[in-house]
Amino acid sequence: QKEVEQNSGPLSVPEGAIASLNCTYSDRGSQSFFWYRQYSGKSPELIMFIYSNGDKEDGRFTAQLNKASQYVSLLIRDSQPSDSATYLCAVKDTGFQKLVFGTGTRLLVSP
Amino acid sequence: EAQVTQNPRYLITVTGKKLTVTCSQNMNHEYMSWYRQDPGLGLRQIYYSMNVEVTDKGDVPEGYKVSRKEKRNFPLILESPSPNQTSLYFCASRPDRLDTGELFFGEGSRLTVL
């Protein structure tokens, strides 16, 4: 069973700080990685995707991928209370039939 | 507006009473899928469909049926619901491209089976 592991949290950070969210995956052949944000009671929405080793930046968000370590992370700079949500890591399986989701990390940003 | 629409959004039913959750997308996507989301278990795929008349089981298909007679619609059928099917259900779609795996989610259907 291919797995995606995340710490459930909550991860608490003060407003303006950097939030670091981490994810590990078991399928070494995985090529595509995604971060979704889900507000309570709402549907997931895509924040970023990353395919290559290294960093990918989009505004306040940076995704980091290390395929050798099977590790992907999301950094949120200048965290805002509106960033408080659950962040889901997802990995596209090698057969491309589905995204395998982690259970999510709950982020709380306090004013 | 591009969207995935699910109905009903909320439903309380009783064990054994057949129900259907509808899902429709207006983006001409080939791929559609159903997920259920439970605390501590995350999003788990129930069924998916690569195109019209093509459906396949996901990770947790027991107790569910689907059909894909039209490209835009992908209903989820619970023939005889049981309390362990109480969950938050999401329909999702994506274009059949290999350059991205982004899923577009519906707003969710919260089902309670008594």
pLDDT tens digits, B19-52:
999 999 999 999 999 999 998 888 999 999 988 9
Q: Is A77 helix (H, G, I), strand (E, B) or coil?
A: coil
Instruction: Please report the number of interchain residue pairs, chain A to chain B, with beta-carbon separation below 8 angstroms.
Output: 47
Using the beta-carbon criterion (under 8 Å), do A44 and B43 form an inter-chain contact?
Answer: yes
Query: How large a percentage of chain B has pLDDT more than 90?
Result: 82
The angle subtended at Cα B8 by Cα B6 and Cα B10, nearest 5°, is 120
Q: Is B100 helix (H, G, I), strand (E, B) or coil?
A: coil
Q: Which residues of A touch B101 (CB under 8 A)?
A: 32, 34, 49, 90, 92, 96, 99
Number of C-beta neighbours around residue A52 at 10 A: 9
B68, B50 contact by CB (below 8 A)? no
Residue A56 C-beta-side C-alpha neighbours within 13 Å = 17
Q: Which tokens sit at B75?
A: 């209903």
Number of C-beta neighbours around residue A91 at 10 A: 26
Q: Which of A57, A6, A67, A61 is nearest to A33 (CA)?
A: A67
Nearest beta carbon to residue B40 from set A41, A101, A103: A103
Whole-number mean pLDDT of chain A? 92
Rounded CA separation A59/A90 (Å): 20
Say whether pLDDT at A35 is over 90: yes
pLDDT in tens, B74-108: 999 999 999 999 999 999 998 875 556 688 999 99
Return all residues near B97 (Cβ < 8 A) that are at least 6 apart. none
Nearest beta carbon to residue A43 from set B42, B56, B108: B108
Strands B31-38 and B42-51: antiparallel
